[in-house]
Amino acid sequence: MDDSRHDEMPPKGARAVVRVSPNPTTERRQRVTITGDCGGGTGLRAITSGVGGRPVLEDITIVEAGPDRFEATARLREGLGNGVGPVFAHCGGEVGVTLLVTHVSD
């Protein structure tokens, strides 16, 4: 197996880096912080989440939108149970994605 590919950059358009904290989450409606960098993009434009029209996050607020460092806050959507959902950072020419794990108890 050729390990040299592990050092390659992601393709143009997919170079933003996004992190969610805490991850995993443990409470419904829990507040989270989304941070990262735009990987060459012009700056954070939006944070979206979920698939199929069902968002994981709501009340999303962009605190800092710089291309070298961004920060946003959000809250888990009411009614979420245990699972995994994508969180996307849209950065003016670059996009990043991470998975948010929800492990809530009733």
Residue 71 lies in a domain: yes
pLDDT of residue 75: 97
**pLDDT value at 4 more than 60:** no
**pLDDT value at 1 more than 70:** no
Three-state SS for 17?
strand
> By residue range, what is the domain housing residue 20?
11-102
Say what the pTM is.
0.89
Q: How confident is the model at residue 70 (pLDDT cuts 50, 70, 90)?
A: very high
Q: Which residues fall within 8 angstroms of residue 47, CB to CB, at 6 or more apart? A: 34, 57, 60, 62, 72, 74, 87, 88, 89, 90
Provide the number of structural domains found in the chain: 1
Percent of the chain residues topping a pLDDT of 70: 92
Angle at 85 between CA 104 and CA 19, to 5 degrees: 95
Residue 24 lies in a domain: yes
